[in-house]
Amino acid sequence: MPIFDLICLECDKKFDVLISNADKDKIICPDCGTGNVKQVLSPFNSSSSGGSRVPDSCRSCSVGGSSKCCMRDRLL
């Protein structure tokens, strides 16, 4: 089952849920209980034989790759 990163559009709570794709429409916010949530883009790391590489869009960012990364909160 996939883990979905979500944000509540009512209270701005960010949370993640381990749930099947079939049940994705049943997700509710753990703080306010609304179903008005949106999936957000999840950062991930991959490596290759060439070593790690920072994406071009993150080169000027002082927090690239951390939990404070501006790419973390991009809505799908």
Query: What predicted TM-score, i.e. pTM, was given to this entire model?
Result: 0.55
pLDDT of residue 5: 94
pLDDT of residue 52: 54
How far lies 20's CA from each of 5, 39, 46, in Å?
13, 14, 24
Q: What does the DSSP 8-state code read for residue 3?
A: E
Q: Which residue has the higher pLDDT, 47 or 64?
A: 47
Across the beta sheet with 37-39, the strand order is 14-18, 3-8, 37-39
pLDDT of residue 76: 40
pLDDT of residue 41: 84
The residue extents of the domains of the chain are: 1-43
Q: What does the DSSP 8-state code read for residue 17?
A: E
Its CATH class, for the domain covering 1-43, is mainly beta
Rounded Cα distance between 70 and 58, Å, is: 9
6-56 tens-digit pLDDT: 999 999 999 999 999 899 999 999 999 999 999 998 776 666 655 555 666
